[in-house]
């Protein structure tokens, strides 16, 4: 198969949502329909010991939440789908932001009971930065939820995107009878199974005025559905695939992921309209996927992915050409060639060795510490892929070592966890105090848990009264030196050695910015 053919059979996408909207459940059901797994695990049931396929860290199993990105590849209708299941919990938003740089499109899940929630709004902002195509799945129709029109209005208003319903619910909660597919003119009757694929009953109804509609759903429901379909066709735009691909229009499906209902309709539409891998920008130029030379970037690092072996795996998105195992590739940041004899593809925690990979694929490279998030690998060209920033944290705590005999283990653990992007580490110039910055409280619990169980190091975190970490630069070195000297007690360096100003309050930061107009203050590490 040629390189172009390999590219055209790949779709790489992420799933995003607010916590508890059903993201991990939908992920599993997509795998179920793709034949990648036979039975879905239970995410939050203590009665069932088999946990969600995509949640493999011990702390995820204990809490029933996703705190790291899982990568899963599976085949469907002759296509290779690469699915990235992202953390839903807002405390791990930065991992999700970075993951969105590695996908070509997104499936967004919305809870029909709660509607559009805060985390969904934040994630859509990141999608909008890159004009990422979005398909929306309104979930949990087996529960009593909000009016479908109200949900669609809220998506348009809060997420600033046009919508086009491609299926429509018939009832909700106890009265839920199924959906009518506006995409392929089918009536799908609700018949759910939580663990096995139980194919729902399809009824071909090309003409919604057909008397057969009453036979299947009843007279009142048929009348309501006809009225709804007429209204939808009148007020919502036709599906324009170009508008979807440019990120201006979100097709919307309704269903119940836990019951396998509506998932196949979503998947069938996705494989038809979702984009194949596209071009990506480096500092030097735009790189097309069809170019023969390999290039790719690291968007995630995971240490100790197998607790029996102290290893690190770097997740690399292939951007162009063909990746080949045991071949030398140029590591731009270190300016040296690296050879990867062990390359893997993922099905959640299951890995298999691969010899080659193509644009859109996610490759796991075993690494001894050479690779970091944002690194670019090529066959010699020096252009670094753009768009993988670190965001300014919101919570800051100083690290206190509880076992002086394990200082080396603590330092190694912190360094490796920071390389993963779990949190950010700042070291003050004065006193070399180490401060961890995160976007949520839960990350500190994860760090403590992993330091203890993976590195044998114990620590505690002491809260600090800090408002923001600002990366500082200046076109005039003298200006920057004067600023650092005058604010030395508040100057730190990130793990890359970049200068950071640690502001205690918003008001003080604004005042400092006014007093030093020659210094630029940045809220992401990629200015």
Q: Quick one: 213 and 248 in the same domain?
A: yes
Q: Give the separation between CA 317 and CA 69, rounded to whole angstroms.
A: 13
pLDDT at 407 over 50: yes
Q: Quick one: 56 and 195 in the same domain?
A: yes
Q: What is the CATH number of the domain that holds 25?
A: 3.40.50.300
Q: Quick one: 366 and 417 in the same domain?
A: no
Q: Give the separation between CA 414 and CA 447, rounded to whole angstroms.
A: 8
Is 487 inside a domain boundary? yes
Q: 497: burial class by Cβ within 10 Å (0-12, 13-18, 19+)?
A: exposed
Element (H, E) at 150: helix 148-159
Q: How far does CA 347 lie from the centroid of its chain?
A: 16
Render the burial of 410-445: b for 16+ CB within 10 Å, e for the rest: bebbbebbbbbbbbbbbebbeeeebbbbbbbebbbe
Q: Nearest CA to 178 among 191, 187, 167, 189?
A: 189
| Final residue of a structural domain among 335, 352, 378 | 378
pTM: 0.79
Least confident of 209-213, 227-231, 319-323, 513-517: 209-213
| Final residue of a structural domain among 215, 240, 273 | 273
Between the alpha carbon of residue 485 and those of residues 152, 269, 503, the distances in Å are: 54, 59, 15
Is 120 inside a domain boundary? yes
Is 279 inside a domain boundary? no
Q: Quick one: 116 and 215 in the same domain?
A: yes
| Final residue of a structural domain among 211, 246, 273 | 273
The answer to whether the CB of 393 falls within 8 A of the CB of 424 is yes
Q: Quick one: 172 and 302 in the same domain?
A: no
Q: Quick one: 178 and 112 in the same domain?
A: yes
Q: Quick one: 327 and 429 in the same domain?
A: no
Domains identified in the chain, total number: 3
Q: Quick one: 92 and 231 in the same domain?
A: yes
Residues in a beta bridge with 253: 137
Is 385 inside a domain boundary? no
Is 347 inside a domain boundary? yes
pLDDT at 56 over 80: no
Quick: pLDDT tens for 95-142.
Answer: 777 888 899 999 999 999 999 988 888 888 888 888 999 999 999 998
Is 282 inside a domain boundary? no
Tokens read off for 442: 């839960």
Radius of gyration of the CA atoms of the chain, in A: 25
Q: Give the separation between CA 378 and CA 44, rounded to whole angstroms.
A: 42
Phi, psi of 18 (to 5 degrees): -75, 155
Q: Quick one: 161 and 85 in the same domain?
A: yes
Q: Quick one: 450 and 306 in the same domain?
A: no
Is 226 inside a domain boundary? yes
Quick: pLDDT tens for 397-406.
Answer: 999 999 989 9
Is 527 inside a domain boundary? no
Q: Give the separation between CA 233 and CA 238, rounded to whole angstroms.
A: 8
Quick: pLDDT tens for 133-143.
Answer: 999 999 999 89
Quick: pLDDT tens for 439-476.
Answer: 778 789 889 988 998 899 999 999 999 999 999 999 99
Q: Quick one: 418 and 480 in the same domain?
A: yes
pLDDT level of residue 498 (50, 70, 90 thresholds): very high
Mention every residue, 6+ apart, whose C-beta is less than 8 A from residue 38: 32, 196
Range of the domain at 163: 3-273
Q: What is the CATH number of the domain that holds 496?
A: 3.30.70.3280
> In which region does residue 62 sit, left (phi positive, over 0), alpha (psi from -120 to 50) or beta (all else)?
alpha
Half-sphere exposure of 36 (CA within 13 A, CB side): 25
Between the alpha carbon of residue 249 and those of residues 160, 252, 294, the distances in Å are: 10, 10, 33
Between the alpha carbon of residue 220 and those of residues 129, 177, 403, the distances in Å are: 45, 12, 70
Q: Are strands 424-428 and 491-493 parallel, antiparallel or unpaired?
A: antiparallel
Q: Quick one: 334 and 265 in the same domain?
A: no
């Amino acid at each position: 198969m040629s390189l172009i053919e390999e590219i055209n059979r790949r779709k790489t996408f992420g799933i995003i949502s607010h916590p508890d909207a059903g993201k991990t459940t939908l992920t599993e059901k997509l795998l179920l329909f793709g034949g990648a797994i036979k039975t879905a695990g239970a995410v939050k049931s203590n009665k069932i010991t088999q946990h969600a396929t995509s949640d493999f860290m011990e702390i995820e199993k204990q809490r029933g939440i996703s705190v790291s990105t899982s990568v899963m590849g599976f085949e469907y209708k002759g296509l290779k789908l690469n699915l990235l299941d992202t953390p839903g919990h807002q405390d791990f938003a930065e991992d999700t932001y970075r993951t969105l740089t590695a996908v070509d499109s997104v499936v967004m899940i919305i809870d029909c009971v709660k509607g559009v929630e805060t985390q969904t709004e934040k994630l859509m902002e990141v999608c909008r930065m890159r004009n990422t195509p979005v398909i929306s799945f309104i979930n949990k129709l087996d529960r009593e939820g909000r009016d479908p029109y109200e949900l669609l209005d809220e998506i348009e208003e809060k997420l600033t995107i046009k919508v086009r319903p491609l299926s429509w619910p018939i009832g909700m909660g106890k009265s839920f009878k199924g959906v009518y597919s506006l995409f392929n003119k089918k009536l799908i009757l609700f018949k759910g199974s939580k663990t096995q694929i139980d194919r729902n009953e399809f009824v071909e109804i090309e003409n919604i005025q057909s008397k057969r509609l009453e036979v299947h759903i009843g007279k009142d429901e048929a009348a309501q559905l006809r009225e709804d379909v007429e209204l939808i066709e009148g007020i919502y735009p036709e599906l324009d695939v170009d508008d979807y691909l440019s990120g201006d229009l979100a097709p919307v499906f309704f269903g119940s992921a836990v019951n396998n209902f509506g998932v196949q309709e979503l998947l069938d539409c996705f494989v038809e309209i979702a984009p194949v891998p596209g071009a990506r920008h480096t500092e030097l130029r735009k790189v097309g996927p069809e170019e023969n030379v390999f290039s790719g970037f690291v968007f995630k690092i995971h240490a100790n992915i197998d607790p029996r072996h102290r290893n690190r795996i770097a997740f690399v998105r292939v951007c162009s050409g063909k990746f080949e195992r045991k071949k030398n590739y140029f590591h731009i940041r270190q300016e040296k060639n690296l050879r990867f004899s062990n390359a893997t593809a993922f099905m959640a925690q299951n890995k298999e060795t691969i010899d080659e990979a193509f644009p859109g694929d996610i490759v796991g490279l075993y690494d001894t510490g050479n690779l970091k998030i944002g690194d670019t690998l090529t066959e010699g060209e020096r252009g670094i892929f753009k768009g993988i920033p670190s965001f300014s944290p919101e919570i800051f705590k100083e690290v206190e070592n509880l076992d002086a005999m394990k200082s080396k283990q603590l330092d190694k653990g912190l360094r490796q966890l920071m390389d993963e992007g779990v949190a950010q580490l700042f070291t003050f110039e004065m006193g070399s105090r180490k401060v961890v910055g995160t976007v949520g409280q839960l990350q500190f619990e994860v760090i403590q848990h992993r330091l203890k169980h993976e590195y044998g190091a114990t620590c505690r975190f002491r809260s600090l009264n800090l408002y923001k970490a600002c990366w500082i630069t200046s076109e005039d070195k003298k200006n920057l030196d004067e600023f650092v000297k005058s604010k030395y007690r508040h100057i730190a360096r990130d793990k890359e050695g970049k200068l950071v100003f640690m502001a205690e309050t918003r008001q003080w930061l604004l005042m400092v910015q006014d007093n030093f107009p020659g210094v630029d203050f940045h809220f992401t590490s990629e200015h």
